[in-house]
Every structure is written in structure tokens, then in C-alpha cells.
């Protein structure tokens, strides 16, 4: 049974966003939210009745804000606003992203600072709860003045126009889907067009979803790194807590402790721990894994702080203050989000890069300490994991390109009224691709390290790494002659995405 989330002026948590975007949790406005929305709407209606122009209430928008709109034309103004702003292009974005931005816009409305009518807020909540997903396109947001085109596509659907996916995933006209769900299309009133579109909800939603994935992927990177250290006859000594304490970065300490735990009680590590081992120290890609993974952890921690601040925000322009004033502001600018979205892409590229170096060492007969070339069954006849590494290397190269920041760019629009923008939406879109890329990179290291551990027989891996190897063997056979590798990569990706890899490792540690 899905959970129900009550929305009010209190901050949302990242877990709540994920539960609605991915888990299908439903939403309801709290009593406090209902009261705040009604009170704020009363202020807007009083201003709408005045002769003096008020931006967003009785004027045009952006560079057209100088024009006063008579009361009989304001409904047309709002509908024209969302029609013209729903100007996206390109592929449609993922339903989880649309659901996240719908929830986040509704949360801002629930703070009582937007001036939206209660009936409009209820329509947005009902659409979300009915599993109706407006079609939002890849291009259309500059990350300033809100995610305009993406949010306008949602607003347009609320009015019964445009296309949506219904609860079964079928594309159909919005009017049909709303009617079937018993939702009356909204006729927008003063201020509502702006209030439904002037937020950073798309980029924030993508940040929150990415953080959920990234946290798990860094955990997986610690695990695959430990498997690679073990497979390459590396040592666990650099991961000792007293050495890590000499450089007190919290993420580094976590990654080192996790790697040490995964390698604990490993017969392979124990086999070369004594004074007869001639190796002085391991390569950087093994020894420095906690430093790289830990830096990524701390980067994600900073991004979580930014996300949590945004989840406590009420972003609209103009905004309605408790005393009834309607004030223009710049809180819709996406710079705080754009920066951390780019920062995360840099961190993911580097985690993938060190992962690639570990994988390459296991395949190189000159550096793998006794493993067959490319882990092939019959090197020369068989290629082993040679081309799987090519795939990994190609993705790592792409991740480096995706790490080029979007937020350093700006392009003026709206007759120079909007003369500096954040490009935060673009930063979020490329971060999603980076998350997918790192997942595949880790899957290939997992496959390679597991195969290398098998080839160390009769020595056994440790309880944690052995449990992961055994899990993988349910879907992917052990070493042998060449076979179709692409399905094996896909199987490893699935095990990472659904959390089974980490669960197996933790279960093994507890034995």
C-alpha cells in the first residue's frame, strides 16, 4: 500500500520526494496548507480589483510586464501564458522527473506564498495521485525564471490541453485522461499561470533523484574496489583507521572503513600478508580509492545540504508575503542548484575514471600478478573481458565530457530582461546520463573482479566479496570460453540498480 504525504508549509525531505516520484506515494494538502492557500488567494483577489497594475496579477509577463491587462482579459492572459510557455522540444523526460516537479510545485503552493486558488491546488494534487504524467520535453528551460517550459507543460495539462501519459503509461490527450480520472480541467485565474511555472522544481527534482542513486553507487564503488584489490593481490593496510585519521575527511573515512570491512577475513589477502611478499605498495587506483570515493561522498553531502535548503523554500515570482504584499524577487534563479549538479557530474566522472584503471589492471598480464591476459580462458583464441573494458573506457570518456559544467554558461533572452540564466536544467539532464554511465562502469568492474576472484582458486575471497561473487553467479556463469558479454553487463547493472549487490555484501559481512 502506498503512503500518503501531507503537504504544508513545512520542508519536504528528500526521501519524501523519492517516495512520490518513484514509489507512487499519494499527496494531500494539510489543513494548515488549505488555510494558507485560501488566505493568500484573498490578497490576490483584492489586488486584482484595484486600478493600479500588479505584476503577475494584472500585467503581462517578462519584458511585457509594462502592459496593464483589463479584468475581462485576465483568464485569457493566463491560458495564453501557459500555452505559449509550453514550448518544449526534443525527447520527453522520464515520468519520475515529471512527478517530482509536480510534487515540488505543489509543495511551494502549499506554503501559502503563491496566490493559487485552492481548487487549482486540488487539481494538481488529484492529477499527481491519479498517475497522470504530462509530457515534458528535454529542451525548454534555461534554469531561470523557473523551469518554464517543463512546468508550463504540466500547467497546460491541468487546463485539459496537451498530451499526457495515463496511469497505464498510454499517451493520450490530457482532457481524456482528466475526465476519466474525474478531474475537472482548471480555468486559470489571476496569478496562477506564473505560480504554476515560476519554480526550480525540475532541476531540484532531478538533483534529489540523482542523490538517491549516487549515494548507493558510491557504496557500490567501495565494494567493487575492494573486490579489485583482492583480485589483484593488493593489501588492505592503507585502509586502516589510524592512517585515514591523519587526513580527516569524513567521506574518506567512511569509504576506507567500508573497503577494510569488505576485505576482512579474506583468505586471498591473508595469503600474501606475511614478510615474504615482495610488494611495497599498491598502485594509486587501489591504494587511493578511499580518497577518490570519499571526495565524491563529501561532494554529495554538500549537494544534499543545498537540496535540503531548496526543499524548505517557497519559490515564485512575484511572491505573496504574510502581510499581503506581492513582491518581485529573484529566488527562481537556479545557480545554487546548477553549481552542485555540475559538481556531482565531476565527482562521478572521477569515480568512474579510477574504476576504469582498476579494471584495466586486472586485464593486463604485466600488472595483474598471475591472472591470464584479459581473463580469457584461452588467450588468443578467447578475448575474455577485453572489449567489455572498451565499453567501460568509452563510457568513462563520455562521463568526462558530461563533467564540463553547464552552469558557467548563460545566454540572454526575453529582450534582455532575463539577461543572466543558470542553465541548471541542462546540468541536471547531463547528471542523469552520468548516473547511468557510472552504473555501467561499475557493473563492468564487478563482472571483471568477480571473474578474477574465481581465477584465484583454490584461494577463496572474503565473506563479503565472496557473497557478491556468488550472487552474480546466479545470472552470470564463471570463467570459461568466450560468450555473449552484453547480457552479462546488463545483468550486473540490474543487480546494482535493485540493491542486491550491496545487500549481498552486507549479508556476507554479517556471517
Check: CB of residue 437 under 8 Å from CB of residue 356: no
What is the bridge-based pairing of β-strands 326-327 and 319-320? antiparallel
**Active site (annotated) includes residue 339:** no
CA distance 121 to 38: 10
Check: CB of residue 359 under 8 Å from CB of residue 392: yes
Helices (H) and strands (E) in the chain, counts: 20, 9
- DSSP letters for 201-250: HHHHHHHHHHHHHHHHHHHHHHHHHHHHHHHTT--SGGG-HHHHTTS--H
Residue linked to cell 589483484: 232
Check: CB of residue 150 under 8 Å from CB of residue 140: yes
Nearest 5°: the CA angle 130, 136, 139 is 165
| Residue in 55, 284, 339, 390 annotated catalytic | 55
What is the bridge-based pairing of β-strands 171-173 and 163-165? antiparallel
Check: CB of residue 86 under 8 Å from CB of residue 153: yes
CA distance 103 to 124: 9
Q: Retrieve residue 303's grid coordinates.
A: 549537494
Residue linked to cell 583480485: 231
Active-site amino acid positions: 55
Amino acid at each position: 500500500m502506498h503512503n500518503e504525504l501531507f503537504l504544508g508549509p513545512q520542508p519536504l525531505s528528500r526521501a519524501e520526494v523519492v517516495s512520490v516520484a518513484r514509489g507512487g506515494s499519494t499527496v494531500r494538502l494539510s489543513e494548515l496548507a488549505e488555510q494558507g492557500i485560501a488566505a493568500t488567494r484573498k490578497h490576490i483577489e483584492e489586488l486584482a480589483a484595484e486600478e493600479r497594475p500588479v505584476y503577475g496579477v494584472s500585467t503581462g509577463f517578462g519584458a511585457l510586464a509594462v502592459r496593464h491587462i483589463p479584468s475581462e482579459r485576465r483568464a485569457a492572459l493566463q491560458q495564453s501564458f501557459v500555452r505559449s510557455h509550453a514550448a518544449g522540444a526534443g525527447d520527453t523526460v522520464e515520468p519520475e522527473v515529471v512527478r517530482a516537479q509536480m510534487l515540488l510545485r505543489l509543495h511551494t503552493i502549499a506554503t501559502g506564498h503563491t496566490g493559487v486558488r485552492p481548487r487549482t491546488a486540488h487539481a494538481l494534487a488529484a492529477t499527481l495521485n491519479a498517475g497522470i504524467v504530462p509530457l515534458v520535453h528535454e529542451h525548454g528551460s534555461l534554469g531561470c525564471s523557473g523551469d518554464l517550459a517543463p512546468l508550463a507543460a504540466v500547467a497546460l495539462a491541468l487546463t485539459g490541453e496537451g498530451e499526457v501519459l495515463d496511469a497505464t503509461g498510454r499517451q493520450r490527450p490530457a482532457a481524456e485522461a482528466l475526465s476519466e480520472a474525474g478531474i475537472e480541467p482548471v480555468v486559470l485565474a489571476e496569478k496562477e499561470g506564473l505560480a504554476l511555472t515560476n519554480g526550480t522544481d525540475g532541476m531540484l527534482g532531478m538533483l534529489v533523484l540523482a542523490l538517491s542513486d549516487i549515494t548507493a553507487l558510491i557504496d557500490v564503488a567501495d565494494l567493487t574496489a575492494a573486490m579489485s584489490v583482492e583480485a589483484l593481490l593488493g593489501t588492505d593496510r592503507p585502509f586502516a583507521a589510524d592512517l585515514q585519521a591523519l587526513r580527516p575527511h569524513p567521506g574518506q573515512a567512511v569509504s576506507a572503513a567500508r573497503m577494510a570491512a569488505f576485505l576482512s577475513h579474506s583468505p586471498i589477502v591473508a595469503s600474501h600478508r606475511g614478510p615474504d611478499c615482495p610488494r611495497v605498495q599498491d598502485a594509486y587506483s587501489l591504494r587511493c580509492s578511499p580518497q577518490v570515493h570519499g571526495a565524491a561522498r563529501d561532494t554529495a553531502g554538500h549537494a544534499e545540504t543545498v537540496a535540503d535548503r531548496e526543499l524548505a523554500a517557497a519559490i515564485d515570482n512575484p511572491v505573496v508575503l504574510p502581510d499581503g504584499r506581492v513582491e518581485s524577487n529573484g529566488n527562481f534563479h537556479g545557480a545554487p542548484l546548477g553549481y552542485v549538479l555540475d559538481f556531482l557530474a565531476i565527482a562521478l566522472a572521477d569515480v568512474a575514471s579510477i574504476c576504469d584503471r582498476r579494471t584495466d589492471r586486472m586485464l593486463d598480464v604485466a600488472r595483474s600478478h598471475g591472472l591470464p591476459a584479459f581473463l580469457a580462458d584461452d588467450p588468443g583464441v578467447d578475448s575474455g573481458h577485453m572489449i567489455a573494458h572498451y565499453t567501460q573506457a568509452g563510457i568513462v570518456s563520455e562521463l568526462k565530457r558530461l563533467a564540463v559544467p553547464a552552469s558557467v554558461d548563460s545566454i540572454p533572452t526575453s529582450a534582455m530582461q532575463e539577461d543572466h540564466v543558470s542553465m541548471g536544467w541542462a546540468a541536471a539532464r547531463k547528471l542523469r546520463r552520468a548516473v547511468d554511465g557510472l552504473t555501467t562502469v561499475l557493473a563492468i568492474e564487478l563482472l571483471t573482479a568477480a571473474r578474477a576472484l574465481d581465477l584465484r582458486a583454490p584461494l577463496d575471497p572474503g565473506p563479503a566479496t565472496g557473497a557478491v561473487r556468488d550472487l552474480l553467479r546466479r545470472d552470470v556463469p564463471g570463467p570459461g570460453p568466450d560468450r555473449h558479454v552484453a547480457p552479462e553487463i546488463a545483468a550486473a547493472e540490474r543487480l546494482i540498480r535493485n540493491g542486491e549487490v550491496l545487500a549481498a555484501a552486507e549479508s556476507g559481512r554479517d556471517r
